């Protein structure tokens, strides 16, 4: 039996099971739950067999998501205990981030013979980041004002008016101070990407300015460190299907398949807005630079699926960098643009913050003028820098902003119910956006010709 035949059989089985489950739900026919459960697991067994034949890490990650969802649905009490496995995977990945960022940034800067190119890439990257995130901001605003997902929500019982964790509202001085590390070890410990990036950039520039006899050994060390960390990532990625499956099992087991509840409209608004953003921004940009879209989608499918399942951009960073290197973008460009983008190019998070902040006001019955909405979301865009790698860190940002604009906090509890599902989508768009950004800057710098790509390699 061929792989296509196996995939077709698995698809037919899943479709049949989905139809039976739907009919059972609406009581058109009544089928015993054990029969449905067995039929679902038979279908899953077919997909697992296909993954065994496929021998692809991406395929195994996607299959593990299906298995995790089924475990969470059938055995929720057991599935919630699997969270530790997803945390193990995330912690292993997080150990890679700081040394990988430091090594690749230093090599990317100090490896240039011309410091002017570093400066050019810097201003080009920031210009592109700000244009794209501003568009995301307005698309998010337009979507929530059209859907009005928060309008008509009744205030919850007093039991939900409990105190949220206190957050200190940030002013512009706090934002500026957060950029610069007071202690690089402290920044690494707390996983603060932006201070690590700033330290690495200044270190790389300093290394570029010293004599060759001093620069050579340190540059060689950083190149070796970078290669080792990529290999380290490859080893950790063998655990990815387990970690991803456990994350999905916990999510479904904890919240159930009906986690959408009354917030389905907000969830759909976010997904439609992100899809519109991809169609209106990402695809035109890719066409302008001559990026082969089909090849691009294939190469980034693995890091995007990891980001979607783990809700962490950090977990996808190493694989995203490798994917863009296979697309022909030089490592020196990737090493500079992608880590910077993880702090400044949060397309999905920016769009989500616009949605969520206005949703809070709508749910509270508070009318915000367009000017007030713009002021709120621009504040969010500034205070969100550097949080893309932390799962659901945007909720902390929203809490601080809600306090600053004197809005009630109980609507934030409503968002918590589906934040996992929203985080999956916005984090995936963050990863896609940063991969595309490296291609844009590489093309803008004349460092890559997408008409002459290196041959594809098996996933």
Question: Which of 454, 459, 458, 450 shows the shortest CA–CA distance to 326?
Answer: 454
Residue 21, pLDDT score:
53
C-alpha–C-alpha distance, residues 174 and 427, integer Å: 25
pTM over 0.75: no
Residue 8: pLDDT band by 50, 70, 90 thresholds? low
Residue 155, pLDDT score:
58
* CB contact at 8 A, 313 and 425: no
- Kindly calculate the radius of gyration of the chain based on its CA atoms and give it in whole angstroms: 23
Residue 32: pLDDT band by 50, 70, 90 thresholds? low
Per cent of the chain over pLDDT 70 is 73
456 phi and psi angles, rounded to 5 deg: -70, 150
C-alpha–C-alpha distance, residues 215 and 205, integer Å: 11
Range among 11-15, 16-20, 216-220 with highest mean pLDDT value? 216-220
Residue 126, pLDDT score:
81
C-alpha–C-alpha distance, residues 134 and 138, integer Å: 6
Pick the more confident residue, 93 or 440.
440
> Where do the domains of the chain lie?
3-55, 83-444
Lowest mean pLDDT among 83-87, 139-143, 198-202, 417-421: 417-421
Report the pLDDT averaged over residues 285-296: 92
Residue 162, pLDDT score:
44
Lowest mean pLDDT among 10-24, 137-151, 253-267: 10-24
The yes-or-no verdict on residue 221 having pLDDT over 80 is yes
Residue 135, pLDDT score:
92
Residue 273: pLDDT band by 50, 70, 90 thresholds? very high
Pick the more confident residue, 351 or 158.
351
What is the per-residue pLDDT across 416-449, written as a single tens digit (0 to 9) for each?
656 777 888 888 999 999 999 999 998 988 888 8
Domain at 83-444, CATH class: mainly alpha
Pick the more confident residue, 277 or 10.
277
Residue 236, pLDDT score:
81
The yes-or-no verdict on residue 387 having pLDDT over 90 is no
C-alpha–C-alpha distance, residues 448 and 328, integer Å: 6
pLDDT averaged over the chain? Answer: 76
């Amino acid at each position: 039996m061929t792989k296509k035949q196996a995939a077709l059989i698995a698809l037919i089985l899943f479709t049949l099971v989905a139809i039976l489950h739907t009919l059972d739900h609406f009581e058109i026919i009544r089928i015993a739950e054990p029969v449905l459960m067995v039929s679902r697991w038979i279908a899953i067994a077919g997909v697992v067999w296909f993954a065994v034949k496929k021998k692809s890490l991406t395929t195994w990650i996607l299959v593990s998501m299906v298995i995790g969802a089924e475990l969470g649905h059938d055995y929720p009490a057991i599935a919630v205990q699997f969270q530790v496995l997803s945390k193990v995977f995330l912690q292993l990945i997080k150990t890679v981030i700081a040394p990988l960022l430091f090594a690749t940034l230093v090599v990317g800067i100090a490896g240039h013979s011309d410091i002017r190119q570093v400066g050019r890439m810097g201003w080009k990257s920031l210009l592109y980041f700000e244009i794209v995130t501003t568009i995301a901001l307005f698309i998010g605003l337009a979507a929530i004002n059209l859907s009005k997902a928060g309008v008509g929500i009744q205030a919850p019982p007093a039991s939900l008016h409990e105190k949220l964790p206190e957050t200190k509202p940030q002013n512009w001085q706090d934002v500026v101070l957060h950029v610069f590390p007071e202690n690089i070890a402290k920044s690494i410990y707390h996983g603060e990407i932006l201070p690590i990036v700033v330290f690495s950039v200044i270190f790389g520039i300093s290394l570029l300015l010293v004599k060759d006899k001093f620069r050579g050994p340190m540059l060689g060390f950083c190149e070796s460190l970078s290669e080792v960390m990529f290999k380290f990532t490859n080893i950790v990625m063998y655990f990815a299907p387990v970690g991803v499956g456990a994350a999905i099992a916990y999510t479904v087991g904890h919240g159930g398949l009906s986690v959408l509840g009354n917030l389905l409209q907000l969830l759909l608004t976010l997904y439609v807005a992100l899809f519109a953003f991809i169609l209106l921004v990402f695809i035109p940009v890719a066409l302008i630079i001559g990026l082969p879209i089909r090849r691009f989608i294939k190469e980034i499918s693995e890091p995007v699926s990891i980001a979607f399942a783990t809700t962490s951009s950090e977990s996808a960073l190493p694989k995203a960098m490798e994917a863009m290197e296979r697309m022909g973008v030089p490592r020196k460009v990737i090493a500079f643009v992608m880590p910077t983008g993880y702090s400044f190019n949060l397309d999905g998070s920016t769009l989500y913050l616009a949605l969520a902040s206005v949703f809070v006001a709508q749910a509270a019955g508070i009318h915000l003028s367009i000017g007030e909405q713009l002021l709120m979301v621009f504040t969010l865009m500034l205070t969100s820098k550097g949080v893309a790698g932390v799962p659901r860190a945007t909720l902390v940002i929203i809490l601080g902003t809600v306090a600053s604009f004197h809005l009630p906090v109980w609507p934030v509890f409503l968002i918590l119910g589906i934040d996992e599902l929203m985080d999956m989508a916005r984090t995936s768009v963050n990863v896609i956006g940063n991969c595309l950004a490296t291609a844009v800057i590489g093309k803008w710098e004349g460092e890559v010709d997408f008409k002459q790509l290196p041959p594809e390699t098996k996933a």
